[in-house]
C-alpha cells in the first residue's frame, strides 16, 4: 500500500461522493486530512470519524466555493491552514452538476457552474502555490475532472465545457508549476454512484444501459476513485506531471457498444 504518512491534505467538497472517498483513502494511507463542505452536519461528522479511526488527524472547514471567487478562495485557504498548518496536498474536488439544455441555458446557471468547477480550483491552486513557493514546499495538486471533459452529452453542455476546462487546466498548471517543484495531475471518473448521480439507482433500465456502455460492465461506487488519487499525490508518481487519469471502466476508449437484442 502506498504510504502518505507525513503529508497533510485539503480535499474540497469531501463530505460525500468522490471527495469523501478520496479523503478516506488518504487517511487509510496515513495522511492527515482537512475535510471541506459548505456547512457542518451528519455527513461531515461521519467522514471525520472514519478518517480519525485510521489514526490520523482530521479537521473540518467550511466555505461556499460557488460564491465570490477571490473572497471564498482566501477564506477556505486561511481556514484550512489554521485548522492544519503544513498542508502540502490540495485536491480540488468541489463542483456542481447543475445543467440545462444548451438552448435553455442562462447566465446564472452558467456562471455558477464556471465559478465552482473552474474559477475556484484555478485560484485556490494559485493561493496554495504562492504559499508553497514562498515556503519551499513541494506541493501536490489533484484536479477532479470527469469523463465529460472528453465525451459530451447533449443536455450537459455547460458541465461538459467546465470539465473540459479542468482537463486543460491540469496541463497548463503543470507546465507553470513543475519547474517550481509543484506537481499537478487530475483524476477523471466515469459514471460512479454518488448523491449527484442518484438516477443510477432510481432507474434500473438506465443503469443497465450505462453498464452496457462501459467495457467492464460496472457502475461502481465512488470508492474506486480513492486508490488512483492516493497514487497521483504520492512519491510513487513523482515523475507523473500533467496527467489526467481516467477512472471510467474503459468508457472513454469505447466508441459505441453493440446494441443488444430487445433494446
The answer to whether residue 226 is domain-embedded is yes
The answer to whether residue 262 is domain-embedded is no
Per-residue model confidence (pLDDT) at position 197:
65
Q: What is d(CA 122, CA 63) in angstroms, rounded to the nearest whole number?
A: 16
Structural domain that includes position 108:
8-252
Per-residue model confidence (pLDDT) at position 10:
98
The answer to whether residue 259 is domain-embedded is no
Per-residue model confidence (pLDDT) at position 104:
94
Chain centroid to Cα 1, Å, comes to: 21
**Parallel, antiparallel or unpaired: strands 244-247 and 32-37:** unpaired
The number of beta carbons lying within 10 Å of the beta carbon of residue 1 is: 8
The answer to whether residue 84 is domain-embedded is yes
Per-residue model confidence (pLDDT) at position 185:
98
Query: Which residues fall within 8 angstroms of residue 120, CB to CB, at 6 or more apart?
Result: 12, 65, 66, 69, 72, 73, 92, 94
Closest residue by Cα to residue 40 from 89, 91, 79? 79
Q: What is d(CA 189, CA 163) in angstroms, rounded to the nearest whole number?
A: 11
128, 134 Cβ separation under 8 angstroms: no
Walk along the chain (263 residues) and give the pLDDT tens digit of each residue: 799 999 999 999 999 999 999 999 999 999 999 999 999 999 999 999 999 999 999 999 999 999 999 999 999 999 999 999 999 999 999 999 887 899 999 999 999 999 999 999 999 999 999 999 999 999 999 999 999 999 998 889 999 999 999 999 999 999 999 999 999 999 999 888 776 666 666 777 777 777 777 888 888 788 999 999 999 999 999 999 999 999 998 888 887 777 666 66
The answer to whether residue 193 is domain-embedded is yes
Per-residue model confidence (pLDDT) at position 261:
67
Query: Is residue 159 flagged as an active site residue?
Result: yes
For residue 16, what is its C-alpha cell? Answer: 460525500
Number of structural domains the chain divides into: 1
Chain centroid to Cα 134, Å, comes to: 26
Q: What does DSSP assign to residue 84?
A: S
Ramachandran category for residue 141: left, alpha or beta (phi over 0 → left; psi -120 to 50 → alpha): beta
CATH, residue 73: 3.40.50.720
End-to-end CA distance of the chain: 43
Class of residue 135 by CB neighbours under 10 A (exposed 0-12, middle 13-18, buried 19+)? exposed
Closest residue by Cα to residue 33 from 74, 95, 86? 86
Q: How far is CA 12 from each of CA 63, 93, 130, 156, 161, rounded to the nearest angstrom?
A: 9, 5, 18, 23, 21
Q: What is d(CA 195, CA 160) in angstroms, rounded to the nearest whole number?
A: 19
Catalytic residue among 97, 110, 159, 231: 159
Per-residue model confidence (pLDDT) at position 26:
98
Calculate helix-pair angle for 17-28, 224-233, nearest 10 degrees.
60
Amino acid at each position: 500500500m502506498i504510504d502518505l504518512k507525513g503529508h497533510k491534505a485539503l480535499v474540497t467538497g469531501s463530505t460525500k461522493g468522490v471527495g469523501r472517498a478520496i479523503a478516506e483513502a488518504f487517511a487509510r494511507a496515513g495522511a492527515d486530512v482537512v475535510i471541506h463542505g459548505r456547512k457542518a452536519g451528519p455527513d461531515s461528522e461521519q467522514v471525520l470519524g472514519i478518517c480519525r479511526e485510521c489514526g490520523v488527524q482530521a479537521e473540518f472547514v467550511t466555505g461556499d466555493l460557488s460564491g465570490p471567487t477571490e473572497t471564498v478562495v482566501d477564506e477556505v485557504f486561511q481556514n484550512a491552514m489554521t485548522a492544519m498548518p503544513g498542508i502540502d496536498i490540495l485536491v480540488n474536488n468541489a463542483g456542481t452538476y447543475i445543467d440545462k439544455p444548451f438552448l435553455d441555458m442562462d447566465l446564472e446557471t452558467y456562471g455558477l457552474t464556471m465559478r465552482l468547477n473552474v474559477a475556484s480550483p484555478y485560484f485556490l491552486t494559485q493561493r496554495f502555490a504562492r504559499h508553497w513557493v514562498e515556503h519551499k514546499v513541494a506541493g501536490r495538486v489533484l484536479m477532479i475532472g470527469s469523463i465529460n471533459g472528453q465525451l459530451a452529452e447533449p443536455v450537459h453542455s455547460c458541465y461538459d465545457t467546465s470539465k473540459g476546462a479542468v482537463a486543460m487546466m491540469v496541463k497548463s498548471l503543470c507546465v507553470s508549476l513543475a519547474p517550481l517543484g509543484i506537481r499537478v495531475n487530475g483524476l477523471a471518473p466515469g459514471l460512479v454512484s454518488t448523491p449527484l448521480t442518484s438516477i443510477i439507482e432510481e432507474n434500473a433500465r438506465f443503469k443497465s444501459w450505462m453498464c452496457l456502455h462501459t467495457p467492464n460492465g460496472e457502475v461502481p461506487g465512488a470508492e474506486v476513485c480513492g486508490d488512483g488519487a492516493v497514487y497521483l499525490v504520492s512519491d510513487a508518481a513523482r515523475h507523473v506531471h500533467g496527467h489526467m487519469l481516467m477512472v471510467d471502466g474503459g468508457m472513454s476508449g469505447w466508441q459505441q457498444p453493440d446494441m443488444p437484442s430487445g433494446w
